Amino acid sequence: MKNYVAPSLLAADKQRLSEEIKLAEESGAEYLHFDVMDGKFVPSVSFGLEELEKISKLHKMVNDVHIMIENPDEEAIKYAKAGADIVTFHIEALPCMGCLAKTIKALHDYGTKVGISIKPRTKVNALDPFLQDIDLVLIMSVEPGKGGQPFMKSALRKIKYLRRVIDRHHYDVLIEVDGGINEATVASCAQAGAELFVVGSGIFRHANYSQPLKELRDLARI
């Protein structure tokens, strides 16, 4: 099982994003994590459509776009058109099963991969009906929209559960984890079954991004 580290642009220098993105790609990153927060579904506000349109064509990494917004059924396709390779939305923001299915289909019809994310307090089996139809599951190991939180160990149980279900049914679904991922937590997440690890300051605080990327990948090898 190959593991990937996705640098999170939230931790990058906003005044020199183009340079930060170039350095991340040159350092071997294969995914670039792009968080969208609307100040409603979560308390913070971050990047939006305009920023995604600007940065999506600056690199060849996978644009891994996590939209923490209200009404993702109305907005998700806009992010696909703006350059997202994967659009991940929250199940809590779209509790209607029919709306979820419709949004998944619309994104797939456009040619974009689909992810569903859950907050720490959401039961992981809420994802079961959708696993055969999506490409990625994002487990939040902190409350989304709030910085500086410690990793929640309850995420490991959710990852283990998903790993069992996905393997049992041979679903082609990537398990991603975001929140408090660093040298101390990445190995336990990998052992639980995660494959894609979102890391912010653990990469961008370094002068040389190659070193932390390599160290995190090595720690995630199982």
Q: Has 135 been annotated as catalytic?
A: no
Q: Has 178 been annotated as catalytic?
A: yes
First to last CA, the chain: 8
Catalytic residue among 38, 64, 73, 178: 178
Residue 39 falls in which region: left (phi positive, over 0), alpha (psi -120 to 50) or beta: left
The encoded tokens of residue 179 equal: 């929140």
CA distance 159 to 139: 7
Classified as helix, coil or strand, 31 is strand
Q: Which residue has the tokens 């040298």?
A: 183
How many Cα atoms within 13 Å fall on the side-chain side of residue 185?
A: 21
CA distance 79 to 169: 30
Catalytic residue among 35, 38, 64, 135: 35
The vertex-196 CA angle with 113 and 101, nearest 5°, equals 30
CA distance 125 to 22: 38
CA dihedral 220, 153, 134, 29 (to 10 degrees): -30
Please give the positions annotated as active site.
Answer: 35, 178
